[in-house]
A = this chain, B = another copy of it.
Amino acid sequence: MIYSSELIKGTLKTIILKLLKDNKRMYGYEITQRVKELTNDRIHLTEGALYPSLHALEADGILTTETEYIGKRVRKYYSLSPKGKNVSKEKISEFADFMNTMKFLLDIKTDIA
């Protein structure tokens, strides 16, 4: 099952911030691949959504960047700024709270405790 795109709306920044919280630094393409792996191909981040979102987070001072060359190919690494570390925690716990609310609202049983 690949989720309908409307479902994923609004979760993109939370996903980015969680991955960067766990991984110190990652580049855009790597994020798309990691999410595919971790979700068994259920969530595919499109580049047209990802890159503008990364740029916005950087503009907000939540992410910092370092550019490196791998051979002749450029690679742009993103990391959480100090501010970003706080925002990351907040977003993840807000989402956790939201999921509990939605679980109650939709009477959903989850697999694992």
Which chain A residues have a beta carbon within 8 Å of chain B's beta carbons? 1, 3-4, 6-11, 13-15, 18, 35, 38-39, 42-43, 92, 94-113
Contacts and interface: CB of A to CB of B under 8 A. Distances in A.
Give this chain's copy count: 2
B99 A11 contact: no
A14 B94 contact: no
The A contact surface, by secondary structure, is: helix
A51 B69 CA distance: 51
Contact of A95 (B39, B92, B106, B112): B106
Contact of A105 (B9, B39, B94): B39
Given A105-B35, A105-B38, A98 B15 contact: no
